[in-house]
Structure 1
Amino acid sequence: MPAHTDLNEALAALTDKLRSLNDLVTANQFMVEALARQGEELKQMNGAGTKDMLRRQARARFHPDTGTAPNAAALAILEDVLGLQQESAEIIPFPARA
């Protein structure tokens, strides 16, 4: 039975990591699509304006209650990245291998 429990725990951990990775991919896909569609417009805006616009668009898409494609985890990633005090919005780096 302990081997079965260990396997279940390993599968649960793997499932959590895959969900996290999927949320990062979703957030990055949003950023790539926004940059592809609105790149010129975004380049003409200042950093704060760009991030505000992207944040509004992310909320419209991913908000868990009102979004067109609800995804609270992806929205949290985007809110975190777009809320930083950096000058520009960039593709979100994936975590380094542990």
Structure 2
Amino acid sequence: MDNSSNLIQELLTIGLGTTTFVAEKLGEMGDRLVKEGKIEPDEAKTIVNEVLKKVNTDRGTVEDRMQKQLKTVLQDIGVPRQSEIDELRGRIDRLEHQVRDLENKQWR
């Protein structure tokens, strides 16, 4: 599961970079429209803030969908969940303990 965590982290980082890029371009566009006299500075700021709010909201939704898709893909190709691995480790520990107990009984 470590690889999937890295993949998710990389995708989220790309999303964050994209959001930063969009914010910069929106700011530039707003500044240009203000300089051209097409909108007021307060109006430009409001528009930029509204768009960024929408982008951030959508990004959260996209991140959730990406995580669900990734989990589905990993399940489809047979990668076990962490809880399944932990359960198997517990079973192995119990079996090892039982084997040690049986070995100790044989030597008594």
TM-score (norm 2): 0.39
Higher helix fraction (1 or 2): 2
In terms of Rg, which structure is larger?
Answer: 2
